[in-house]
Amino acid sequence: MKSLLITGFSNIVESSLLKKINKKKYAISVLLTEEENQKFNRKYDKKFEKIIIDFDNIQGFKELLQTHSWDIIVHVGTPKKSNNCIKKKYFNVNFKEQLIINALKNKSKILYCSSVDVFGTIPLELPANNETEKVEGKCIRSNFSLTEKIFFKYLMNGLDAYIIRASLLYGKNVEGFSSFLLKKIINKNLYLPNKKHWIHLLNIETLIDALVMIIDNDYSNNRIFLLADKDPILLRDLVNFIYKSIHKKDFPQNRIIWKKYFFIAEKICSFMKWNDKKRLIQLLNNSWFYESDFSCERLFLKKKNTIPSFQEVLNEYN
């Protein structure tokens, strides 16, 4: 039986992965903060080894890794330790590099669930692909680019690593752009630009299937995988689909406004340094989609259509 480490429990991807992994094939350990441990105890039994860590003590974490090793390490996310962007970068990037050093030392396979955010909020070319120029963002989102740089550095030294660049997720209990859309539509306060834009989401089930495939198999000829749904979809079509499901009528035409208002709102957010709000405005006001066919074929994944797959999120609401 192989040993498997999953980092953290604060991310819906990690908890979903725990449910999907074959418990008979792997002795599973979970890296948790004290806060995560309390949630973990309420949700799971004692089948998993729990390793409690304190992110205020990086030296203590290094010492822990000196006495622990695993056959496979799956790193999806790091707890949000601080509201300060610089501190978040330090904690997250330092934490990940320590895991990478441990994997290299013990010849472990390590998986990193990255994001299409490495291409920036809006890619410089469409469809974006694994060769598209990377853009370092601001604050916590730049962690994806910084972490990938560290992975590539250690790959040159023989690290057995795999990177999954996942598009923006949707699914049950998934937070982010999809939940933002849903909440805005529920409250009837969403506005769209008067230009059609194509977006490209990813069903969380596809991501989990990809992680399980890489955990169970050797894909050493391909180290980077880019994942998204089967096809891009018009943002307006998705919004209308959600709106009709909830309010039983089409999205109001008077909520489609001039594109220039979004540019003005974006400039205000830039001036006020409201980076998260600025990102949401950019996602609404631009097209963003990706070339993911090769990755999904290589992993034998069945790609989903965003419509009607988004219905599972709406079923949870209804």
Residue 49 is predicted with a pLDDT of 84
b/e code 198-236 from CB counts within 10 Å (16+ = b): bbbbbbbbbbbbbbbebbeeeeeeeebbbbbbbebbebb
β-pair type (109-115, 202-203) = unpaired
**pLDDT for the residue numbered 44:** 66
In the chain, the amino acid numbered 179 is S
- 10 Å CB burial of residue 157 (0-12, 13-18, 19+) is exposed
- Helices marked H in the chain — which ranges? 12-20, 34-43, 58-66, 85-105, 143-155, 177-186, 204-216, 235-247, 259-272, 275-284, 293-298, 306-309, 311-317
Predicted pLDDT of residue 92: 67
Task: Give me the pLDDT at residue 279, please.
Answer: 94
Say how far apart CA 151 and CA 163 lie, in whole Å.
9
Most distant pair of Cα atoms in the chain: their distance: 62
- The structure tokens listed for 241 are 């689909």
Residue 35 tokens read as 């806060």
pTM: 0.91
Our CA angle for 146, 102, 38, nearest 5°, is 85
User: Tell me, what amino acid is at 221?
Assistant: N
Q: So what's the pLDDT on residue 220?
A: 85
For 109, list phi and psi in degrees, rounded to 5: -80, 135
Cis peptide before 193 (omega within 30 of 0): no
pLDDT at residue number 82: 42
- Decide: 166 and 207 in contact? Cβ < 8 Å: yes
- Which pLDDT score is estimated for 91? 56
Given the structure tokens 């972490």, which residue do they identify?
147
Name all domains of the chain by residue range, CATH numbers in brackets. 2-170+200-229 (3.40.50.720)
Q: What is the phi/psi pair of residue 225, to 5°?
A: -125, 135
Check: CB of residue 296 under 8 Å from CB of residue 234.
Answer: no
**Interior CA angle at 168 toward 164 and 172, to 5°?**
105
Distances (CA, A) of 130 to 30, 162, 165, 287, 290: 30, 13, 9, 18, 9
Quick check: 206 and 295 in contact, CB under 8 A?
A: no
Query: Which mean pLDDT values do the consecutive 10-residue runs of the chain (318 residues) have?
Result: 83 82 86 77 71 79 90 77 47 81 96 93 96 74 80 93 96 92 95 96 96 93 95 98 96 96 97 94 97 96 96 84
Cα dihedral 149/139/64/62 (nearest 10): 60
The phi, psi pair for 202, rounded to 5°, reads -140, 125
Q: What pLDDT, on a 0 to 100 scale, did the predictor assign at position 223?
A: 93
pLDDT value of residue 33: 79
Q: Cβ-count burial of 250 within 10 angstroms (0-12 exposed, 13-18 middle, 19+ buried)?
A: exposed
